[in-house]
Structure 1
Amino acid sequence: MISTRRTLLAALAAVGTLVPLTACGGGSGSSDSSDGAPSGTYTFWDPYPQLDASSAWGKLVTSCGTKAGVKLKRTPYDTTDLGNKALLAAQQGNAPDVMLVDNPVVSTLVEAGILNKTGDLGLDTKSIQKNIIGAGTIDGDAYGVPIGANTLALYYNKKVLSAAHVDPASVKDWDSLTAALQKVKAAGKKGITFSAINTEEGSFQFLPWFWGAGGDLTQLDSAKGVAALTLWQQWVDKGYAPKDVLQNTQTTAWQEFATGDYAFGENGTWQLGNADKAGFDYGIINIPGQKGGSAPVPTGGEFVTVPVQEDTARYDVSKKIVTCLTSDENLLPTDTTLMYVAPTSAVQAEQVKQNPKLKPWVDAVAAARGRTSGGLGTKYPTISQPMWTAVQAALSGSKSPQDALAAAQSSAQKG
């Protein structure tokens, strides 16, 4: 028990680099049935407080409990709280029966020993795209089922580019993108907006440029990593990107792009609905690599997981709930509502059939990487925080990109 407590505390510290530490709260894994039979109340946590019980998602959760023969009590938390609450609940022995968590948190929960392997539960993940399930796979074993994925690309304003005599098809690498930004500024408009905030959102948005230069997260201060940070620094210094990128979340970065004054906005699949409401014609291109081609982009999205329970008889019902939430039949409306790209090719094809604007996003997700993939696992948070700190230092002018990333690498090694 002591070693388990220590592991959980260490895991809490790791998640704490991603999100603020908060007090425990929420549901419990208790059942109305004293013998653990498939009846009574099961608990489910998710990161969608913006979706109430009357939403399509809320109704799906309720119906999946009904189909499993139980009442499914749903407790939504903000994404930034959910990981820590899960760890604290496990420490106290009242983890929920089923939990939907952000994909980088999966490895931390696995290290803490509180998630079941999908294989042990008999959950089938064969049809899921390998790079999508890879974000929740540790040492060859999957620990959850993804409901979908999102990622990043560049939205562009057709009118702004046209006025600056920029063909979006000409943007193929960093040089051509920077040249486009120069023309846009000369035409009296604004260049590009993104999020460089000192949270995981900042790292998430920096990764395509870091990876697009060939950067390796185990060596933040390589020449390739420095090139990526230098690109962003030069954009801010030359006025191609606003200085408020340092405070921009992905939401506020989108709001800037939605003013119609910017040529480009780095943002995600989840903004498609807002893009249609923006009031101007837009297009989407993949984020270019330094020397051309599409840069690797990070996968976002959540995994449906089954926390370890003392009463293992509960797993049969939990499996039914997970299967219901992640069935092709339910993934299509769920991923359409949440603006996710589905994790299976069959559902992706149906999504594109219904909404052709999703095609570039399906292509982007196919080439995306999990932030914790490549064996990083729980090391990722100890790399991400120094990385976003380096971005802040370089863009604010307090350090050169080289010095900022050298400090980040030193910090990551200590972590």
Structure 2
Amino acid sequence: MNRSARRRLTAAVVTAVAVTAGATACSSGGSSSAKGADSKTYTIWDPYPQFDKTSDWAKLLDGCGTEAGVKIERTAFDTSDLTNKALLAAQQGNSADVLIVDNPVVSTLAEAGVLTTTDDNKLDTSKVNPNLLAAGQSGGKTYGTPIGANTLALYYNKAVLKKAGVDVASVKDWKSLTAALAKVKEAGKKGITFSAIGTEEGSFQFLPWFWGSGAKLTALDSDQAVSALSLWKNWLGKGYAPNSVINNTQTTSWQEFASGDYAFAENGTWQLANAEKAGFQYGVIPVPAASGGDAAAPTGGEFVTVPVQKDSGRYATTQKLVSCLTNSQNLLETDTTLSYVAPTTEVQQKQVAANPKLKPWVAAVQAAKGRTSDDLGTKYPKISEQMWKAVQSALSGSASPKDALGSAQSAVK
């Protein structure tokens, strides 16, 4: 790592040290010994603590290690802890060989000098959908490859729409969606629920409407952005959406939809299992853009990355491990386990063939966009915070959509 990279890493670690209150760097299995290219143990850190050593995921990691001729030491962290651990480990020169992180974190680690590029580590990303790969790109370079993606779409209750006389095929843009919500309310049912809470979840749920208006994150106060926030504000004002959205998480929003009273709910692929248990027939359509077509929804999901090592001789084996984890067959199995849509068209087609209900989700993922795309990198968290604050201000009535977004843009600058 060069001097400028070390300076970036030191700056990035300051926050991590404060957050973890003096925690030390954590290495898999607790070993802190130097790792040479001839070592037969390779470390993998991931954000899946829900999977223990008997899980299919853990068995896949071990299998890839066997294929590469090495032993795998795996450590699982909560997502919020993993970034801090990765930064601290890099500062101490004890990074994991493979690091699997939430996609918005990639740019943070890359700008801190923690990660190698795909040019450095020879990872082949040629089959990955460009819109998904963009979440791991910064400064014209690519840092890793996605293991899968989830995103947002609109679930709908078939019985509620039928009672209201709404053909879901007619919902193609904001005007037709709002007209459908009006019919639902007239029929005595509830319109749409979503999460507008004052956290990243709120920004995540607002982004399809924001991007669907044609707005850009570099101009939060544009006319297009104001139209998106005005749409949500008008829905609350007319009773098409409940005031509870201001405090809803994606989980509580789903619980409202699961009551059976709502026509639509904005939520993600992770609710598919719950949808099957809801007790009513449902369908899924992509979030419509303002003037028609599918809006870009933000991508969730993780990237497989390769941290910088003191001994560059380790990269050849690490490349084998990552290639194994992300080959077509393993992606199919892993993304089925994680309820993710695969990052390649080839595997997406196999997923839909096995489960036709994934078809609208594949369409949504193909139209999706990384939150740190457009080379926003580490600027995104600040932009997102001002975005959710603006949404809260407008929906609570403390400011107009225009004024709320104007204040947000001024704060970002």
TM-score (norm 1): 0.92
Q: Which residue of 2 aligns with 1:8?
A: 9
Identify the residue that residue 28 of structure 1 maps to in structure 2: 27
Partner Cα separation in structure 2 for residue 229 and residue 21 of structure 1: 33
Q: 1:71 to 1:347 in 2, by over 3 A?
A: same
Task: Tell me the secondary structure at the aligned position of residue 217 of structure 2.
Answer: coil
Matched ranges for 1:273-312 at <5 A: 273-312=273-312
How has the CA–CA distance of structure 1 residues 335 and 389 changed in structure 2, closer, same or farther, with 3 Å as cutoff?
A: same
Q: How does 1:342-353 map to 2 (within 5 A)?
A: 342-353=342-353
On the 8 A contact 1:15/1:105 being kept in 2, the answer is: no
What is the deviation of 1:26?
6.6
Task: Say if 1:43 and 1:98, in contact at 8 Å, map to a contact too.
Answer: yes
CA-to-partner distance for each residue in 1:294-345, whole Å, 9 max, x for gaps? 1121222111001111122222222121111111110001111111111111
Q: How does 1:30-69 map to 2 (within 5 A)?
A: 36-69=36-69
CA-to-aligned-CA distance 1:202-259 (integer Å, 9 cap, x gap): 1111111011111111110111111111111122233222222222222222222122
- Paired with 2:286 and 2:96, the residues of 1 have a C-alpha distance of 38
Residue 4 of structure 1: how far off its partner (Å): 4.7
Question: Once the 2 structures are TM-superposed, how far is the Cα of residue 85 of structure 1 from its aligned partner?
Answer: 2.4
Counterpart in 2 of 1:101?
101
Q: Give the share of equivalent positions with the same residue, in percent.
A: 65
Matched, 1:395 2:395: yes
Post-superposition shift, 1:168?
A: 0.9
Could you tell me how far apart the structure 2 residues matched to 1:5 and 1:392 are?
39
Residue matched to 1:328: 328
Residue pair 1:36, 1:314 contacting (<8 A) in 2 also:
yes
1:15–1:108 CA contact under 8 A, matched in 2: no
Q: 1:266: which partner in 2?
A: 266
The answer to whether the aligner puts 1:148 opposite 2:143 as a matched pair is no
Distance change >3 Å, CA 353–CA 379, structure 1 → 2: same
- Aligned CA-pair RMSD: 2.3
Letter paired with 2:304: V
Aligned to 1:75: 75
**What residue in structure 1 maps to residue 121 of structure 2?**
121
2:355 pairs with 1:355 = yes
Contact 2:16 2:88 in 1 (8 A): no
Residue 407 of structure 1 is matched in structure 2 by 407
SS at match of 2:408: helix
**TM-fit CA distance, 1:8:** 2.8
Is 1:206 paired with 2:220?
Answer: no
- The CA distance in 1 between the partners of 2:164 and 2:53, in whole Å, is 47
- Alpha-carbon contact 2:37-2:311 (below 8 Å) kept: no
> Comparing 82-91 with 300-309, which one deviates more in the overlay?
82-91
* 1:31 to partner: Cα distance: 6.8
Letter in 1 for 2:153: A
Residues of 2 paired with 1:243 and 1:219: CA distance? 27
2: CA distance, partners of 1:341 / 1:277: 21
Structure 1 position 2, deviation (Å): 7.7
**Higher mean Cα deviation, 104-113 or 54-63?**
54-63
Matches within 5 A, 1:157-236: 157-236=157-236
In 2, the alpha carbon distance for the partners of 1:278 and 1:156 equals 12
2:37 and 2:312 in contact (8 A); partners too: no
Contact 1:27 1:96 in 2 (8 A): no
Distance 2:31 2:151 in 1: 37
1:8 & 1:109 partners in 2: Cα distance?
A: 8
Rounded Cα–Cα distance in structure 1 between residues aligned with 2:405 and 2:92 = 39
CA distance in 1, matches of 2:184, 2:15: 42
Q: Classify 1:363/1:6 alpha carbon distance in 2 versus 1 (closer, same or farther; 3 Å).
A: same
2:341 pairs with 1:341? yes
Aligned AA for 1:128?
V
Aligned-partner residue type, residue 45 of structure 1: W
CA distance change for structure 1 residues 238 and 6 in 2, over 3 Å: closer, same or farther?
farther
Distance 1:295 1:227 in 2: 14
1:8 is aligned with what amino acid?
L
**Partner letter of residue 150 of structure 2?**
N
| Amino acid corresponding to residue 63 of structure 1 in structure 2 | G
Amino acid at match of 2:274: N
The equivalent residue for 1:316 is 316
Q: How many residues align?
A: 410
5+ residue gaps, structure 2: none
| Contact preservation (8 Å) 1:33, 1:39 | no
Kept in 1: contact 2:32–2:94 (CA 8 A):
no
- The amino acid of 1:129's aligned partner reads N
TM-score by length of 2: 0.93
For 2:251, the equivalent position in structure 1 comes to: 251
| Gaps in structure 1 of 5+ consecutive residues | none
Q: Deviations over 1:76-110 (max 9, x none)?
A: 22222222322222223322111111111111111
Distance, in Å, in 2 between the alignment partners of 1:262 and 1:352 is 27
Q: CA deviation at 1:52?
A: 2.1
Contact residue 39 and residue 69 of structure 1 kept, 8 A: no
